Amino acid sequence: MKRSLTDAKVKNLKPKDKSYKIADGGGLYLFISKAGTKSFRYDTALNGKRFTVTIGTYPSITLADARKKHEDDRVLIKKGVDPRAASSKTKSFSYYAVEQMKTLQLASGTYEKRLGRMQMYLFPKLDKTDVLTVTTLDLLKLIKPIAEAGKDDTAKRLSYYCKQTFDYLLTLQLITSNPAEGLQRLLPKVTKPQNFAHLTDVKDIKLFLKAMEQQKGDFAVKMALRFQTLVFLRPFNVRFLKWSYIDFTNKLITFPAEDMKMNRNHKVPLSAQALQILRQMQPLTGKYEYVFLTSISINASKKPMTENTLNVAITRLVNPDTNEHFGRGFLTSHGIRHTASTQLNELGFNADAIELQLAHAPRDRVRAVYNKAELMPERIKMMQAWADYLDELKNAN
């Protein structure tokens, strides 16, 4: 049988204004949707009824795999067997969600965040249900409480993940309509504060630092929270910090661009206090990929702590003045960044150095300082001075 497609041609085909198909031979063709999804299909008939069979999507299914499946199905059809009925059972929601992500060009950090959210909120419930029978109401009951709990952004993201996953099922012709279509419009609009809870009063910063000294619970969580106050990275970067990023000799962490929100490599000078924390963690997690693995994770998944772990740890800190938990609204792990920025500016440090260290400065503002080695000498001094300043506050009467 003459075939017209090649691996290179399949890879390089681009979406157009309208969906289209490219024939391969023997009835097999590649269908390219407007969104760019590529699926191998063929049209056939059985018992006088015509129908289309979708073999799978590229690159999850290779051209060679599609041709083999097509040939196998042709044999079944000659025998009067419907190849759709002969296929294996429908798999779980999580299977299709992960397969759909493979069709996207996601940075590793983005992939981990997305997978982590779905593992926490979607997979446990939806994997217990036949994915072909999930309704809009099922999804609303699952995601609406998340929005009502104040996690508006998380709820919107989960809705979008569901829409993409069920669009993938649509492409496979396993469902006829997407239950997540329009789901976001049904979610309640939650009014959120403008900023993450943070500290502006030096007295409150002292209380927080002293409370951390008395902190109970998992050692990795305690160390991660203390490390966060010293380096004021985004919480995600602390949770997903890898040993391979750390240069003990030069006292530096280098995050690759795919791990950073601004999609730039980011260097973090390490104070003596930050290095001490890393050396305390090294005997416990040094043989694993991630630095701050909890005792439970070490014995099970080897995956970093969840995005809410540090926030919960802060709420459970005991105020040394009142002997009561700080609770919600006092400070968030992300708010530590705001606190550090405010204090460093008040202490008179270079504003560009602070912005560079926070890794959220706009490109046009820092373009010039990038020509000066990212102000690294100033940032090295600043990070050590910041750690010393926190020690002074913590030890002050």
Domain over 202-395 is classified CATH 3.30.1450.10: no
| Homologous superfamily assigned to 7-86 | Integrase, DNA-binding domain (3.30.160.390)
pLDDT tens per residue across span 307-350 = 789 999 999 999 998 999 988 888 988 889 999 999 999 889 98
In this predicted structure, what is the pLDDT of residue 243? 96
- Say if residues 238 and 244 touch (Cβ distance below 8 Å): no
pLDDT tens per residue across span 29-64 = 999 998 888 999 999 988 788 889 898 888 888 999
Domain over 93-186 is classified CATH 1.10.150.130: yes
- Whether residue 246 is predicted with pLDDT greater than 70 in this model: the reply is yes
Q: How confident is the model at residue 127 (pLDDT cuts 50, 70, 90)?
A: confident
pLDDT tens per residue across span 149-199 = 888 889 999 999 999 999 999 988 888 889 999 899 999 876 554 457 888
pLDDT tens per residue across span 260-310 = 877 778 899 999 999 999 999 999 999 999 999 998 888 877 888 887 899
Mean predicted lDDT score pLDDT of the chain: 87
* Mean pLDDT, range 208-236, rounded to an integer: 93
pTM, rounded to two decimals: 0.54
In this predicted structure, what is the pLDDT of residue 149? 84
- Whether residue 373 is predicted with pLDDT greater than 60 in this model: the reply is no
Domain residue ranges of the chain, discontinuous segments joined by +: 7-86, 93-186, 202-395
In this predicted structure, what is the pLDDT of residue 363? 47
In this predicted structure, what is the pLDDT of residue 27? 92
- Whether residue 251 is predicted with pLDDT greater than 90 in this model: the reply is yes
- Whether residue 79 is predicted with pLDDT greater than 80 in this model: the reply is no
In this predicted structure, what is the pLDDT of residue 80? 75
Q: Which is more confident, 238 or 369?
A: 238
